[in-house]
Structure 1
Amino acid sequence: MSATLMERPRADESAYDGDTSGEQVFVTLTLADQLCGIPVLMVRDVLSAQNITRIPLAPAEIAGSLNLRGRIVTAIDLRRRLGLPRVEGEAARMAVVTEQSSELYAFLVDQVSEVLSLSGRDFERNPPTLPPVWANHSRGIYRLAGRLMVVLDVARILALDPVQ
């Protein structure tokens, strides 16, 4: 007997395609007081402060690597990737782990907040006032009560070539 199984989208596929017909679920995070969201299907783990080993000669946005249950994970400093100032002192940062092409990556963020389910009808493409570095790494925005949530594009963030 054969059964068709509904397969969870692979992390290297777009988990958010701008579909306005249903609910979209995001893990929310904060970077320099800016609320951001990553599609929940793209998130594999959320970690508290980790011991990160620096990688010599790596680009500035590569914070180093960490060990997650025996797997090496590349840590990417989202503040540096998005052109934000560095955190003063040794503030504890959290990591959002995602997978792309069978490799694990940890996005270092200031804080991970909650999981939000939002209507696809409320999604908006990037406004022209969004700074170019943010627009190049995001899919669009949601206007929430008193806040703007930027929907981050994992594939664009992981394309570590400088954006022209």
Structure 2
Amino acid sequence: MNARTAVKAETSAATAIERETREYVTLTIAGQWFGIPVLTVQDVLGPRDVARIPLADPVIAGSINLRGRIVTVIDMRKRLALPPRPDDKPGMNVVVEHGGNLYSLLIDAVGEVMEVPGDKYEKNPATIDPLWRDFSEGIYRLKNQLLIVLNVEKLFEVGETRSN
């Protein structure tokens, strides 16, 4: 394959990605709009009683019982270094699987499943918070807002979380 053919193939692949639509479950966390790929979501649950886990990492809110399975709950506000949720506002749970275990992402609200055209996708802008950049795959610029796409796998990577 010569250089011209390689460039043509790369351009063709980029054009195909731009035309491709993707589906995301939309989430709200501290007023910010996020999306996670719909195929990573195992379940969506309303507010649940969370059992605290002594000596757990601060981002771990505790655990819940889901049909006989223990599910670790990750407080997404803490994971993303956002202000704590008001006590009178129970969170919602989006259950995902990682490494054969179930985890619940504790968020403020679940939106809808949204199909987003690939031509609206952009890599992370330089202005995005450095911590969020670590967890984000990129953004979609939509009509009146940004949809930050979370990389669920990276949410589980060990690393420092800034405190508020």
- TM-score band by shorter chain is 0.7 to 0.9
The counterpart of 1:111, out of the listed 109, 113, 124, is 109
Per the alignment, residue 84 of structure 1 pairs with 82
- 44, 49, 73: which one aligns with 2:47: 49
RMSD (CA atoms) = 1.4
Tell me the equivalent position of 2:124: 126
Q: Computing the radius of gyration over CA atoms, which structure comes out larger, 1 or 2?
A: 2
What is the correspondence of 1:14-163 to structure 2 with a 5 Å cutoff? Answer: 19-162=17-160
User: 8 Å contact 1:76–1:105 — kept in the other structure?
Assistant: yes
Deviation at 1:23, TM superposition (A): 1.1
Q: Which has the higher helix share?
A: 2
Which shifted more, 56-65 or 20-29?
Answer: 20-29
Local SS of the residue matching 2:102: strand
Q: Give, in whole Å, the separation in 2 of the partners of 1:96 and 1:88.
A: 19
- Cα distance in 1 for partners of 2:63, 2:53 equals 7
C-alpha separation between the residues in 2 aligned to 1:134 and 1:122? Answer: 19
Question: Is residue 61–residue 75 contact of structure 2 (8 Å, CA) maintained in 1?
Answer: yes
Whole-angstrom distance in 2 between the partners of 1:163 and 1:60 = 9
Structure 1 residue ranges (4+ consecutive) displaced by more than 4 angstroms after TM superposition: none
Looking at structure 2, the residues matched to 40 and 46 of structure 1 have their Cα atoms a distance apart, in angstroms, of 11
SS of match in other structure, 1:64: strand
The sequence identity of aligned pairs, in percent, is: 46
5+ unaligned residues in a row in structure 2: which ranges?
A: 1-16
Quote the Cα distance in structure 1 between the aligned partners of 2:161 and 2:73. Answer: 20
The normalised TM-score by structure 1 is 0.85
- Specify every segment of 5 or more residues in structure 1 that has no aligned partner in the other structure, as ranges: 1-18
Residue pair 1:26, 1:39 contacting (<8 A) in 2 also? yes
TM-score (ref. length: structure 2)? 0.85
The whole-number CA distance in structure 2 between the counterparts of 1:49 and 1:77 is 13
Q: What CA deviation, in whole Å up to 9, does each residue of 1:47-72 have, x standing for no partner?
A: 00011101000011000010000111
